[in-house]
Amino acid sequence: MKNWKKIYIIVASLVIFLSLVYVFFLLGAKAIIVNKIEQASGSKVSINKITIKAPLNIEIKDLEVNGLLKASYILFISQYSQSFIR
């Protein structure tokens, strides 16, 4: 019975750790994307939501570059997902 408890604790810890990594990556990705677009355009940029979907696709919702662009949805498809689409 003690072995099951150890396995449960390890799995739960792994799930919590991976969830924190995912949240940290999303927040970091949002900051990096906003910063790079602001540097390139010289305008204020806002993004409402960033989502990562398997395999490595990035969805950006409600992107606004002040005076240049307003997009409700943008999808970046990785090379890996292109091989699945064919």
Per-residue model confidence as pLDDT tens digits over 17-72: 998 988 888 788 888 888 998 999 888 999 998 888 876 788 889 999 998 889 99
Give the SS3 label for residue 71.
Answer: strand
Please identify which residue in the block is written with the tokens 């924190």: 20
Regarding predicted confidence, which is higher, 83 or 25?
Answer: 25
Total domains in the chain come to 1
Count of C-beta atoms within a 10 Å radius of residue 52: 14
Give residue 50's pLDDT. 87
Give residue 69's pLDDT. 87
pTM listed for this prediction: 0.63
What token pair was written down for 5?
Answer: 């408890």
CA dihedral sign of residues 65, 70, 30, 86:
negative
C-beta separation of 81 from 56 below 8 A: yes
C-beta separation of 57 from 76 below 8 A: yes
C-beta separation of 62 from 48 below 8 A: yes
Range of the domain at 80: 2-85
